[in-house]
Chain A
Amino acid sequence: MKAQLIFKLTFFIGVCLSFLSLFVDYYSYQGFEDGELVLSWNLNLFFSWTTQLNNQRGYNDLLKPPELEIPIEIHIIFIVLLVGSVFVVLFKDVISAKDYIALRPYVYVLLTFVLFIGFYIFIIPAFYLISNGLYFPIITLSDEDIGIIYFNFINIGYYLQFISFILVFPYVALYFHTVQKYEVDHEDSEKIIKDFLAKENEDLDFDKFIAEEDIRNQFKKMQKNEELKVKTQIIREGGI
């Protein structure tokens, strides 16, 4: 149980890191001219590109990277999945579950969540950053024509997603593996048959039967005694 507790905990840490990563910088792109920062753009998954440089003129504005064209709905779906995964692990835990078939839909929630993290650490770099000339993971390049040294690097957001994948994966894999591999034997047949028979069988109240017959016997006896009493009285008094 210790191992499960540890990995459950790592799952929750992973989920928190993944959530945090949405609000911190994912990738940064900077340019230095004679040691002076002339270009600075930070990519945030939610707020796209932001800059800390105030001058809107010059290289900074000119060399602004293309927009990350991922609709905000995708990130919202990710957050929903994230909340859903926490719910699944908290309330639909595989370790104490008695019906794995009922857990199947939750496996899909967890798997989609992991795939989404995979999307952030693999698909975005491969199909957005690299194809837009934003080098990955940490690259320093110099453009001798204009005398700018570019500094491209993944930022804390990416690292958080990266770590969260490692932390979330074991528990999700265990969940998936368990639901796929194991099947709870619901055939506690003796118990099922007992329960069914308790419902189906006619109730036989022996005590009631015995008590009824006892009363009948006592009543008969009393009747007999009464008759005997009357008879004795008749004989003694010589008539009614």
Chain B
Amino acid sequence: MISEELIDHKLKELIRVCKKSQNYRKLAVACFILLSNRMNEIGLKLGIRSRNRKDDENIYEYMTLINKISQDSFNIIFFNQELVKDCKRIELIFLRTKGQLNLQQVSEAFELYYDIRKLEVPNLHKKIDKNLLKGVSEVASYSNLFSNKGSHQDSNQVKNLILYKIAKKEEKVRNQLNKQYSPELFESAIALQQAKASLERNNGNKIIIRGTLKDSLIFKDSQYKLFGFFLLGIFITFFLFGITMVYEAMENPLILEGLGSFLLMIFGLCLLIFFIYWNYFLKERR
């Protein structure tokens, strides 16, 4: 993908040569390709499929689809009706004349392209930026507090409270967005929706890491866990060993006399190991 600066630079060059040759067809084709590519980008960022070129889906039809989906999902109209109307008019001329637009129509098409390019679309797939959830995130951290210490019912109540807060904030953002489009507000709307969705969906509280585990900061910090597992392994082995002997003593009580000190030693060791594990690894994790 080439950068917008490079596109602008090349476009200038193309406009210069096309003006010289008075052949505006190439400019019109370039403009519609750019427009189509930009629309695809917007659609994908919003989580919508790309334009169906094989089925001759027009750009203005795709714009309408984006509008419909954003209306359903976020209660906002992404492209204003004027923009869709202009696009429809120019695109239909372009198709009818097979790209033979005059200078006026070409400049209108470019105007449309730059209007659409101005629309900054946040990436819907991006992870939630916590700053966008001010107010809500505070409640969320309380919920973590409760979920560790409180009962399941408590955590449900807190979850409902968070959902209520999110819904309120979402409504406010939507109202603002309907008054005037702003990419920041739109990003907030998406973030709030993601937060809501992730709260409603239980994903088993998995920690999400980017890249591989060895590159993760979380993992680098928790390498000491391996030593904890080592202690746990020793504990389990000796505990099983001890349990086997207890079972033996229960089967043949006479043998207990011989095994007594041995058993005491093994369970003492188990207790010591578990104490170390609890203090240095389990407690820390909690």
The verdict on B217 contacting chain A, using a C-beta distance below 8 Å, is no
The verdict on A73 contacting chain B, using a C-beta distance below 8 Å, is no
Known contacts A183-B206, A189-B126: does B243 contact A196 (CB below 8 Å)?
no
What separation, in Å, do the CA atoms of A193 and B243 have in the docked complex? Answer: 57
| B232 engages A136 (CB within 8 Å) | no
Contact residues of A between 20 and 37, Cβ < 8 Å to B: none
Query: Residues of B contacting A1 with CB < 8 Å?
Result: 214
The verdict on A185 contacting chain B, using a C-beta distance below 8 Å, is yes
Chain A interface residue number, banded: 35 or more
Q: Which of A3, A165, A210 contacts B227 (CB 8 A)?
A: A3
| A165 engages B248 (CB within 8 Å) | no
Bitwise, A169-207 to B at CB < 8 A (1) or not (0) is 111011001100111110111101110111011101011
The verdict on A157 contacting chain B, using a C-beta distance below 8 Å, is no
The verdict on A216 contacting chain B, using a C-beta distance below 8 Å, is yes
| A139 engages B255 (CB within 8 Å) | yes
| A174 engages B226 (CB within 8 Å) | yes
What separation, in Å, do the CA atoms of A204 and B14 have in the docked complex? Answer: 12
Binds A, one of B39-47, B91-99, B105-113, B130-138: B39-47
Bitwise, B225-257 to A at CB < 8 A (1) or not (0) is 111011011101100110111011001100100
What separation, in Å, do the CA atoms of A122 and B244 have in the docked complex? Answer: 6
The verdict on A162 contacting chain B, using a C-beta distance below 8 Å, is yes
Q: Which of A95, A165, A171, A206 contacts B237 (CB 8 A)?
A: A165
Query: Residues of B contacting A169 with CB < 8 Å?
Result: 229-230, 232-233, 236-237
| A181 engages B40 (CB within 8 Å) | no
What separation, in Å, do the CA atoms of A188 and B207 have in the docked complex? Answer: 16
The verdict on A83 contacting chain B, using a C-beta distance below 8 Å, is no
| A184 engages B45 (CB within 8 Å) | no
Quote the shortest CB–CB distance from B96 to chain A (angstroms).
20
Contact residues of B between 54 and 95, Cβ < 8 Å to A: none
Bitwise, A109-131 to B at CB < 8 A (1) or not (0) is 00000000010011001100011
Q: Which of B1, B23, B243, B258 contacts A213 (CB 8 A)?
A: B23
Contacts between the two chains (Cβ within 8 Å), count: 185
The verdict on A225 contacting chain B, using a C-beta distance below 8 Å, is no
In the complex, residue of chain B having the shortest beta-carbon distance to the beta carbon of A198: B1
| A183 engages B13 (CB within 8 Å) | no
| A184 engages B50 (CB within 8 Å) | no
Contact residues of B between 93 and 152, Cβ < 8 Å to A: 123, 125-127
What separation, in Å, do the CA atoms of A239 and B247 have in the docked complex? Answer: 127
Query: Residues of A contacting B34 with CB < 8 Å?
Result: 204
Known contacts A139-B258, A185-B208, A220-B21: does B30 contact A206 (CB below 8 Å)?
yes
The verdict on A166 contacting chain B, using a C-beta distance below 8 Å, is yes
The verdict on A19 contacting chain B, using a C-beta distance below 8 Å, is no
| B40 engages A121 (CB within 8 Å) | no
Query: Residues of A contacting B210 with CB < 8 Å?
Result: 184-185, 188
Interface of B is mostly: helix
Query: Residues of A contacting B10 with CB < 8 Å?
Result: 206-207, 210
Q: Which of A7, A121, A139, A213 contacts B18 (CB 8 A)?
A: A213
Query: Residues of B contacting A165 with CB < 8 Å?
Result: 233, 236-237
The verdict on B275 contacting chain A, using a C-beta distance below 8 Å, is no
In the complex, residue of chain B having the shortest beta-carbon distance to the beta carbon of A183: B206
| B234 engages A200 (CB within 8 Å) | no
The verdict on A98 contacting chain B, using a C-beta distance below 8 Å, is yes
| A122 engages B21 (CB within 8 Å) | no
Quote the shortest CB–CB distance from B131 to chain A (angstroms).
18
Query: Residues of B contacting A188 with CB < 8 Å?
Result: 210
| B17 engages A213 (CB within 8 Å) | yes
Residues of A participating in the B interface, judged by any CB pair closer than 8 Å: 1, 3-4, 6-7, 94-98, 118, 121-122, 125-126, 130-131, 135-137, 139, 162, 165-171, 173-174, 177-178, 181-185, 187-190, 192-194, 196-198, 200-202, 204, 206-207, 209-210, 212-214, 216-217, 220
Provide a sorted-by-A list of 5 A–B residue pairs whose CB atoms are within 8 angstroms.
A7-B230, A168-B233, A198-B1, A201-B36, A202-B37
Residues of B participating in the A interface, judged by any CB pair closer than 8 Å: 1, 7, 10-11, 13-14, 17-18, 20-21, 23, 26, 29-30, 33-34, 36-37, 40-41, 44-45, 50, 53, 123, 125-127, 206-214, 216, 218-219, 223-227, 229-230, 232-234, 236-237, 240-241, 243-245, 247-248, 251-252, 255, 258-259, 262
Contacts A135-B248, A169-B232, A183-B208 given; 14 further ones with Cβ under 8 A? A3-B226, A121-B240, A126-B247, A136-B245, A169-B230, A174-B226, A181-B206, A183-B206, A187-B126, A201-B41, A209-B26, A210-B13, A213-B18, A217-B21
Instruction: In the A-B complex, list the 6 residue pairs whose CB atoms are closest, starting with the nearest.
Output: A169-B233, A189-B125, A206-B10, A213-B17, A173-B229, A170-B229
